[in-house]
Amino acid sequence: MGLFDRLRSNRQVVANSSARRAETSEQDATRLIDAGHELEAQGSLNAAMQCYLDALRLAPNPARAYLNQGNVLLLKGDLDGALQAFRTAIKHKPDYAGAYYNIGNALLGNGQLDEAAANYRSALEIQPDYAEVHCSLGVALKELGQPDDAIASFQRAIKLNPDLIEAQSNLGNILEHLYNSGNVLLNNGKLEKAVANFRRVLEIEPNLTEAYDSLGRALQELGQLDNAVASYHRALELKPDYAEAHNNLGTALEKIGQLDNALASYRRALALKPDYVEVHTGLGNVLQELGQFAEAAASYRRALEIKPDYLNALHNLLFTLIYTANHTPSYHLDQARQFGRIVAEKVTARFASWQCAAQPERLRVGLVSGDLFTHSVGHFLEGLLTRIDPARIELIAYPTHRRRDELTARIRPHFSEWKPLTNLSDETAARLIHADGVHVLVDLSGHTEHNRLPVFAWKPAPVQVTWLGLPATTGMTEMDYVLGDPHAIPAEYENHFSETVWRMPESYLCLTIPASPVNVAPLPALSTGYVTFGSFNNLTKMNDAVVAAWARILKLVPNSRLLLKTKQLSEPAACEKTRLRFASCGIAPGQLLLSGILASRDDHLAAYSKVDIALDTFPYPGVTTSVEALWMGVPVLSLQGDRFLSCTAGSIAHNAGLPDWIAADMDDYVAKAVAFATDLERLAALRADLRQQVLVSPLFDAPRFARNFEDTLWAMWQRHQVHQEKPERL
């Protein structure tokens, strides 16, 4: 063998020996690292650290050992040492995704979120399919307030590794947070944001039943009833036995007038959950709208058996009782007093002193209402507000409903302050009103929807009065006065109230003159050749006694017609039921003219051009519809009542100068209708002059009514002052 051959042979031997030693060292280092892992898992951190240090001395590529050393240092609480070890690992191996991942975890645990996210992204640039890194990046992004990016990271992690429990858990947590935040937003009236939350949840988890139900509730509050119904249906497709969704669907269907479908939804909810108190109340509401008052009252009473202090059921029971004459005023008062006792028991500290000025230059008057928009209450209120003397009365609005529209925009400038109570508890609302130094607090709702009568139980103002919303007692001892007039509340009816009766000098009502000049049409009977009676009242007021009386009139007036116009008659099923009711009394379908709700108020008023005589309902008469009919030249035939609500019809007739249009009893009602219908010449003359006649009456004279209203509030305050200053007897 030559010299060069021997040299080459020696080099090969040395190389092979070095390779064998390197392989042995790598194997030894790996065994040491594995041993370190076991010791680390057992909690023997110092021993594990020694294994990693020994591995560093043996390993030709020490990156893995530095990584593990950093892990141990991190477990021992040495953040700086750990970060140094991880960064040293990267120096030895620049594309070491695991080291960047560990740096991110260390920084995340130390609250250094931006730096942690940057290191996670560096790891993913090297290894894009590293599921654990996507998950940890999601955690950092969530903490940084970037929920959408966090969700995307969690979803990517789960796609890469469906068994990664941590990613599944984190995505679930963020979904739960979004969902719960949506419900908080919903409860606080931030409806658009709540909808956005629920929609985002459903983008991530399309089969989350509860989110569809909550989305439906938010859409319903926004007035998007068709969308709400669709959302409830989707929830029920996923979970047919979801009682809450059946209940909410029933409420939405009721609001859009699908009463039979609403009834079915409520009954399905009760089959699933018999003691569901809200469903018994919702069922009662639908039965009431269908005119099944006894059944409605039974539903409300069942709700109260389950939950005796459930105020919604009690409000609705009291409202239902006024639709029929089956209960005496004293019975109604007893039921109302039960409400008064319940709300009084919930008050922890009733106010006994107030912050309002004792000798004010002007009274601070608060109006609490759920109807400060295009609504009957709004139509009566607007003219008054425009004529109130701000030097005598300062008005503060306390709206209890979120709805706003063009009428809201018109009346809002007449209030010095606008303070919604929608998201406030009764106590918080009462403390707000008390702190505002209100002299007289006026309830404009009574036992109607969106009332806040329990706030009055705290006695936040020294003088409290109920007016306009519902002509009936509240049953509350804390309500000082009920506002009426001599015809609406005769002296012999004062014992119908828990409040003291205060009578305005003429009418307790004054309708705002409609803005659009819809002209009075000539008497339609002169051109049609027959008399058309009409009623634009809610169909719920048309009880069996009313149907029977109207049927008698139609039979006695040859070739006559009856025009009914109300929201329920937009539904074909309601029209068919109405025809059947009259058919049972011998009235052919052709004598009935049925119309649903019209597009605008102008169209509504113009519809009176087809009516010769308006027939009032009883015992729940028309109020807004009656005064509107008079404005359009149509006289209203009403029945004398035996309580505040039914006597309102007589008050309207007297103040309009039409006392002869009040019937003493049922036979008189029918006889008057026939007599008026047979004297078309007199009817045409009355129609021609009626608008001008009522225009100068208390029913439309807003300046006159405003002075009476101001004087009334001041007289109430002065009486309070006299009682306050009067010394106690020994």
227's CB contacts (< 8 A; 6+ apart) are 219
What's the whole-number mean pLDDT along residues 564-579?
Answer: 92
What's the whole-number mean pLDDT along residues 67-74?
Answer: 73
Q: What CATH number is given for 525-699 in this structure? A: 3.40.50.2000
Over 70: is that where the pLDDT of 61 sits?
A: no
Q: How confident is the model at residue 16 (pLDDT cuts 50, 70, 90)?
A: very low
- Rounded Cα distance between 585 and 366, Å, is 49
Q: What is the pLDDT of residues 594-637, one digit of tens each?
A: 999 887 889 999 999 999 999 999 999 999 999 999 999 999 99
What residue has token string 């069922």? 283
Asked, colleague to colleague, whether 25-170 and 363-503 share their fold, the answer is no
Residue 71 has a pLDDT of 72
What's the whole-number mean pLDDT along residues 104-124?
Answer: 90
Distance of CA 515 to the CA centre of its chain: 30
576's CB contacts (< 8 A; 6+ apart) are none
Q: What CATH number is given for 25-170 in this structure? A: 1.25.40.10
Over 60: is that where the pLDDT of 10 sits?
A: no
The answer to whether 468 touches 328, Cβ cutoff 8 Å, is no
Residue 8 has a pLDDT of 35
Tokens of 192: 């658009």
99's CB contacts (< 8 A; 6+ apart) are 63, 66, 67, 70, 86, 87, 89, 90, 93
Residue 185 has a pLDDT of 83
Residue 369 has a pLDDT of 97
Q: How confident is the model at residue 37 (pLDDT cuts 50, 70, 90)?
A: low
- Percentage of the chain lying above the pLDDT 70 cut: 92
Angle made by CA atoms 563, 567, 573, in degrees to the nearest 5: 85
Class of 363-503 per CATH? Answer: alpha beta
Over 80: is that where the pLDDT of 685 sits?
A: yes
- Rounded Cα distance between 41 and 78, Å, is 18
How many residues are there in the chain? 730
How many alpha carbons lie under 13 Å from residue 573 in its C-beta half-sphere? 6
* Domain residue limits, the chain: 25-170, 206-345, 363-503, 525-699
Q: What is the pLDDT of residues 646-677, one digit of tens each?
A: 999 999 999 999 999 999 999 999 999 999 99
Q: How confident is the model at residue 9 (pLDDT cuts 50, 70, 90)?
A: very low
Q: What does DSSP assign to residue 20?
A: H
Q: How confident is the model at residue 5 (pLDDT cuts 50, 70, 90)?
A: very low
- Rounded Cα distance between 218 and 188, Å, is 11
- Other beta carbons within 10 Å of 439: 24
Q: How confident is the model at residue 3 (pLDDT cuts 50, 70, 90)?
A: very low
Over 60: is that where the pLDDT of 433 sits?
A: yes
* Residues linked to residue 442 through DSSP beta bridges, in sequence order: 367, 465
Tokens of 678: 């047979």
Secondary structure of 103-133 in HEC code, one letter for each residue? HHHHHHHCCCHHHHHHHHHHHHHHCCCCHHH
Residue 264 has a pLDDT of 97
Over 80: is that where the pLDDT of 45 sits?
A: no
Say if pTM beats, i.e. exceeds, 0.85: no
- Other beta carbons within 10 Å of 711: 13
What's the whole-number mean pLDDT along residues 559-568?
Answer: 96
Q: What does DSSP assign to residue 46?
A: H
User: Lowest mean pLDDT: which of 136-145, 244-253, 378-387, 550-559?
Assistant: 136-145
Q: How confident is the model at residue 13 (pLDDT cuts 50, 70, 90)?
A: very low
Residue 128 has a pLDDT of 94
Q: What integer best gives the mean pLDDT of the chain? A: 90
- Rounded Cα distance between 73 and 53, Å, is 12
Tokens of 496: 């119908």
Over 50: is that where the pLDDT of 21 sits?
A: no
Number of H helices, E strands in the chain: 31, 13
Q: Which of 39-48, 138-147, 177-186, 656-665 has the highest mean predicted lDDT (pLDDT)?
A: 656-665
Domain made up of 206-345: CATH architecture: Alpha Horseshoe (1.25)
What's the whole-number mean pLDDT along residues 264-268?
Answer: 98
Over 70: is that where the pLDDT of 306 sits?
A: yes
Closest of 95, 145, 148 to residue 124, by C-alpha: 95
- Rounded Cα distance between 171 and 200, Å, is 13
Residue 682 has a pLDDT of 97
**Helix ranges restricted to H, 346-464:** 376-387, 406-411, 426-435, 453-456
User: Lowest mean pLDDT: which of 114-123, 502-511, 583-592?
Assistant: 114-123
* Residues linked to residue 592 through DSSP beta bridges, in sequence order: 562
Over 90: is that where the pLDDT of 200 sits?
A: no
Q: What is the pLDDT of residues 316-348, one digit of tens each?
A: 999 999 888 888 999 999 999 999 999 999 999
**Helix ranges restricted to H, 256-310:** 259-272, 277-289, 293-306
Over 70: is that where the pLDDT of 20 sits?
A: no
Q: Maximum distance among all alpha carbons in the chain?
A: 147
Q: How confident is the model at residue 263 (pLDDT cuts 50, 70, 90)?
A: very high
Q: What is the pLDDT of residues 163-184, one digit of tens each?
A: 888 887 777 787 777 788 888 8
Q: What is the pLDDT of residues 394-414, one digit of tens each?
A: 999 999 998 999 999 999 999
